[in-house]
Amino acid sequence: MQRRFGDLDSVRRYLDAVLALPAVQERWSPDPVVVRERAGQSKAHYEPGSHTIAVPMKSMWAARESVLLHEVAHHLRESSDEDWHGPAFRRTMCALVAVVLGDAAALLLRAGYEESGVRVPEDA
């Protein structure tokens, strides 16, 4: 079962903890993120220029661990010159999930990508 968040402070604490993980620091040396509420929307999103993750807290779908990790993967992704959900994003997402949720969760994610017909580079 994944975590769900009820307020922006709990989202901020979670994201700060994820970005402070030694394995995350070693692999990506990430900048901190800004968290803000996204009003009137049902989806979270990442704003690359400002390193901001916007989360609609009224949406139970968006205020979940898997969604937040997806947005963090946008923040960490290894290349900014390819399409938004391309191979670098998928590689980053699988590596991040392995660090935060474990290898079994990363294997399930990789299987889901492959079942959907998208490739994940082997080095993730």
Whether residue 123 is contained in a domain is answered as: no
What CATH number corresponds to the domain at position 52? Answer: 3.30.2010
> Please, what sign has the CA dihedral across residues 93, 5, 59, 53?
negative
Number of domains making up the chain:
1
Instruction: Give the pLDDT confidence of 81-100 residue by residue, as tens digits.
Output: 567 888 889 999 999 999 99
CA 98-102-107 angle, to 5 degrees, is: 65
Residue identified by tokens 């699988």 is 94
Instruction: Compute the distance between CA of residue 97 and CA of residue 73 in angstroms, rounded to an integer.
Output: 9
User: What is the residue range of 85's domain?
Assistant: 8-115
40-to-47, 56, 57, 82, 84 alpha-carbon distances in Å: 17, 7, 10, 29, 23
- Render pLDDT for 1-29 as a digit per residue (tens, 0 to 9): 789 999 999 999 999 999 999 999 999 99
> Domain for residue 16, yes or no?
yes
Q: Has residue 3 been placed in a domain?
A: no
Q: Looking at the domain assignment, is residue 13 inside a domain?
A: yes
Cα angle 4, 124, 25; round to 5: 65
Task: Assess if residue 51 is contained within a domain.
Answer: yes
Determine the pLDDT at residue 72. 96
| Mean pLDDT of all residues in 65-78 | 91
Confidence bin at 120 (pLDDT 50/70/90): confident
Output the pLDDT for position 80. 57
Decide if pLDDT at 63 tops 70.
yes
